[in-house]
Amino acid sequence: MSTADEKWWRNRDYIGWLVGESLSTLGTSLSRFAYPLLILFATHSPARTGIVAAASNVGALTTVLVGGALADRYSRRMLLVVGPIVQALIVGSVAVAVAAGHVVLVHVVLAGLVDGAVVGVTTGAGRAALRRIVTPKQYPTAVSQYFMRDMGTRVAGPPLGGVLFAVSRALPFVADAVSYLAAVAGIAVVRRPLGPDPVDASEREPLSRSVASGVRFLLGNGYLRFLAWWAAVMNMLGAGLMLLVILLVRARGGGAAVIGGTQAIGATGGIVGALVTGWIVRRLAGRMLVIALSWTMAAAAFAMSVLPPWGIGAMMSVTAFVAVPLNVTFDTYEMQIIPDAMLGRVTTTIDLFANALRWLAPLTIGFIVEASSARIATLVWGAAFVVVTLLVMVNRSVHVLDRPIVEVAAA
């Protein structure tokens, strides 16, 4: 980077936001790791575990479009402060219930639903705020660091969550509740306005029309249409694969610590991928990364069906390595395609499509495993990845990603 403006470490607003979000993400990784374990160890039922794992995804889907419209109409700062406070109260209620020894499936499911609903409301505001916090040239770097932070918490979160879970099953939820306050502090230290601009906020079209305009924008763009269906299927299959990691390791005698270690191994590939993202995206077109990730996920699923826990972690590590540069490519294209005044609506519309099927994965996996075995479910998942990959290879819309990302970022 050649100018002071491009040196992200001199951007104090960004540093404050990054620290707060990183601590919050670490806390969330602890509770997300503990939720399915809490039910699996209490009920020994893969199906009930799947229901809990699906709850948060369902909650987010119900509110994500409205959240995007709100982010383009009302204070993004307010949404990003109130949302984490509500989440802290929700996860805190689970911690209290676990500590008191009154774990009820309905309560845990409802907590996941409400927590997911808050995520849906705040997602659009978070995306739009980041674009205000960093400069356009800093954006690809910020996205790379976002995924590095995400993978870093996946490395640290599961082992730490396993240790806390072993000490007390309430501790991961207590830590998550506290971490949400760090997210509030991170937004509080940001000095620059996060939007929307007064001219944008004054255009008070009906909320339903605002939501519809975001959907129309997506459907009118061939690349975004491709991204919507591909991400929907791949996120569903990926979510199922993450649950299969837990069920496969558990079926092979692994406890919470082994499950956490396996997931941590898987996340290390994402950290390495984030470190070399700049080098990769300058040399490989986005379309090649899409095809590479699709085939890698298929191969990983088939291999996981026969590998021990450390091998399962290694396969997940390879997929994470490929996924991070691809996600950076996707986000950079989106920031160039979507105008700021519609950023909340369109990005959350993409999120709705991309996550529309995630809830289905844990439910399907849970019932397949109860009817057969985790190994059979993994083989079924591998075959599904192969079908998706073949569809990608004949899709014309993905060719827009043949344009080098350095041209997109400079546009």
Q: Which helix (H) or strand (E) holds 212?
A: helix 207-219
Number of DSSP helices (H) and strands (E) in the chain, helices first: 17, 0
Evaluate the CA torsion angle 334, 336, 340, 342 in order and state its sign. Answer: negative
**Whole-model pTM over 0.75:** no
Radius of gyration of the chain (CA): 20
Tokens of 127: 């995306």
Evaluate the CA torsion angle 6, 7, 8, 13 in order and state its sign. Answer: negative
DSSP 33: H
pLDDT tens per residue, the chain (411 residues)? 334 345 777 788 989 988 998 899 888 888 888 888 888 887 878 778 778 877 887 888 889 888 888 888 889 999 999 999 999 999 999 999 999 988 888 999 999 899 989 988 998 888 888 888 988 777 777 877 877 787 778 778 877 888 888 899 999 999 999 999 999 999 999 998 998 876 544 456 677 787 888 889 999 888 888 889 999 999 999 988 988 988 899 888 887 778 878 888 888 888 888 888 878 887 888 889 999 999 999 999 999 999 999 999 999 999 999 998 898 888 878 877 888 778 778 888 888 888 888 878 888 888 888 888 889 999 999 999 999 999 998 888 787 788 665 565 444
Q: Please provide the DSSP assignment of 278-335 as one string.
A: HHHHHHS-HHHHHHHHHHHHHHHHHHHTTS-HHHHHHHHHHHHHHHHHHHHHHHHHHH
Domains annotated for the chain, with CATH where assigned, are 9-189+206-410 (1.20.1250.20)
CB distance 261 to 268 below 8 Å: no
Which residues in 116-147 are b (16+ Cβ under 10 Å) and which e? bbbbbbbbbbbbbbbbbbbeeebbbbbbbbbb
Instruction: Identify the CA nearest to 78 among candidates 190, 178, 209, 211.
Output: 190
DSSP 401: G
Dist CA 366 CA 363 (whole Å): 5
Phi, psi of 300 (to 5 degrees): -65, -40
**CB atoms < 10 A from the CB of 104, how many?**
9
CB distance 397 to 222 below 8 Å: yes
What residue type is assigned to position 336 of the chain?
Q
Dist CA 310 CA 315 (whole Å): 9
CB distance 365 to 237 below 8 Å: no
Residues near 289 by beta carbon (within 8 Å), at least 6 away in sequence:
280, 281, 322, 325, 326, 329, 401
